[in-house]
Chains A and B, each alone.
Chain A
């Protein structure tokens, strides 16, 4: 791409470093910013600058936060006895969007895979054990990806939590909502049959 101004070129290159943004999209964004009032562009860059400088991770659950404790952990109406363990912040957003969960979270920051160099020490597991140790937790719900590394992580944490009196559960695995039975893969369908549930517990909305 031939760009006459080096100022423009630098800006384009910076935008193009973002995930999912190519050179052409970057150019479009930059040209758009050039057309804006200086105040608007300043607000834009200041917002991003401030976001990066002031963003914090919750010291309790490692979720993204504006202060030392995130607004989920500090919300008095949330049930403090239940913790949902997730892999990353995107999972928190996904589960929050369901509006079905009113407990607290714990963000691990990944799942255990020694092959990829991720051991328990790299993850926020010790802080989870500490939270349980304090004694007010009744249930830990694992909401991790249903694969082997996910299972390894669940079993590992379960072992670490063995000394404490806490119920450990995992989200259900099976046929997805709105899915057609005939298109479900055999493994999922087989699991769904093995872990079938009594109809009286089957609450439809």
Chain B
């Protein structure tokens, strides 16, 4: 069981200072646009991931005209209390601590308090470029496997080193061949581990997404999902060798696991171009629920669920199914926002479980 008991904010976005205590498993936040519903969810996300869900730099999360902010939350995991504090100081330096112990590496925190967020813009996972899908997969695996996150961080650093070497080669007209081989070999080693882990992960994850999609969409169209990587057909070593001339010309590494993708197809055609708005929503929820289920299976307790403004996205029945799956069947804690207090109240009442509603 993972429960957030309370959260206090200081100079975080529109909260000069605020404190919220939660005693139930379902918590609703309602209020007008700009009242701070999403900010509150993002503050909870901060406690789990040490950063904002919306890719905003820390400095932009401070109240207007102020410097520095603080988020403090008391969480309970299987009955054991943890105090998680995130402070961004006046000089922009971030400190993150659990029970007073400050992390030297933020990566070590990822996965300790798992959490899944669904926000309106997440449809980008389906419609935008492949980096959105890699990010989605990486965030999910990183919460399960700390080694994977380390490999990923190393891979990205080595990729930058290799690209900078390629750039220097173009500028200076010569290349230190030994160094290029050494860095490529390090890249290959990390890339292979990432590829293996992603492949292994997708073997279970993809069927789960498809099953959830069919359950949510309740239709007959055939959804298929494929993990696509340059490394499938050839070894990474050979790929880098074959693309050497191209890499040198373009001054960057053109092939590798940093180009991996998930391919969605519906009845054999591209999902992106064929699917309706409704089908996109269904797929988005299937993806996020699959993340939720995977975390639940591996951790043995449900992650926190943060739902931002999703009433616009789902009809009443689907909404009811989603809520009952998360809070009734799995006993997980869920935070949900909506602009209409009455609508949110009605939806929560229908579930027949105790809930808390905050009017912001």
Contact = CB atoms under 8 A, between A and B. Distances in A.
A12 interface: no
A121 B175 CA distance: 11
A157 to B, nearest CB: 9
Contacts, number: 48
A105 B147 CA distance: 34
A148 B154 contact: yes
Nearest to A156: B182
Contacts of B226: none
- Which size bracket describes the interface of A in this complex? 10 to 19
Contact of A119 (B146, B158, B176): B176
B178 interface: yes
B186 A115 contact: no
Given A148-B154, A155-B186, A185-B105, A115 B164 contact: yes
Given A185-B108, A186-B146, A160 B178 contact: yes
B146 A152 contact: no
Contact of B168 (A119, A148, A149, A152): A119
B181 interface: yes
B186 A187 contact: no
Interface string B138-176: 000000001100100010011011001100100000001
A156 B179 contact: yes
B161 A159 contact: no
A152 B105 contact: no
Given A114-B161, A187-B147, A159 B182 contact: yes
A7 to B, nearest CB: 34
B157 A120 contact: no
A112 B180 CA distance: 11
A45 B181 CA distance: 50
Find the residue from B176, B178, B179, B185 having the highest chain A CB count within 10 A: B179
Interface in A147-205: 148-149, 151-152, 155-156, 159-160, 185-187, 190
Nearest to A159: B178
Interface in B322-337: none
Interface of A: 112-115, 119-121, 148-149, 151-152, 155-156, 159-160, 185-187, 190
24 contacts: A113-B161, A114-B164, A114-B168, A114-B179, A119-B168, A120-B178, A120-B179, A121-B176, A148-B161, A148-B186, A149-B161, A151-B186, A152-B161, A152-B179, A152-B182, A155-B185, A155-B186, A156-B179, A159-B181, A159-B182, A186-B108, A187-B147, A187-B150, A190-B147
